[in-house]
Amino acid sequence: MSAVPPTPANIAAAARVVQEGGAVVMPTETVYGLACNALDEDAVARVYEIKGRPAENPLIVHIASFEAVEQVAVEVSKDAKRLADAFWPGPMTLVLKKADAVPRITTAGLDTVAVRVPSHPVARELILAAKLPLAAPSANVFMGLSPTRVEDLDPEILVEVDNIIDGGPCEYGLES
């Protein structure tokens, strides 16, 4: 699979892939992520399989704004709201009580969900275009190096994904 630039048409195509249960590699400000519909059990299972990630290792759910947190979490405290106001968008993950809509596979059976709002414009455009929260662990084979550029993607990942958006090098290079 070849990477494509983040044009509006390519982002729309990647959003359709996610909506249809596929897996997409997208840039974030930290590392490249292997994204899928966080609310689709089969899509999430495929991401675990592609990565070789143990099922007891929960995934971070990416949303486009704080307002979207109600799709994936309940009982958001005032402290969580203050943290979100101070650090989102950006590389900070909040752990909140999960909403019923989030499958247990996404949270590895936990009653909490890890949520963040990425600051990378391509990631946010994809989330908005898909109109879904995206589960997006790093786009590497489990325990492998997390890619910070498309050129760093493991060939084992490249052959398994349905779409790759090249948003250039990641700003931080370390997971949130």
Position 146 scores a pLDDT of 93
Answer positive or negative: Cα dihedral of 94, 171, 53, 35. positive
Mean pLDDT, consecutive 10-residue segments, the chain of 176 residues?
Answer: 93 98 97 98 98 94 96 95 96 97 98 97 98 97 92 94 96 76
Side-by-side strand order, sheet with 24-26 = 73-74, 94-98, 112-116, 60-62, 134-135, 33-37, 24-26, 163-164
**Per-residue pLDDT, 176:** 67
Determine the Cα–Cα distance for residues 40 and 22; give it in Å rounded to an integer: 10
pLDDT value of position 38: 98
Structure tokens of 153? 């993607």
| Predicted model pTM | 0.95
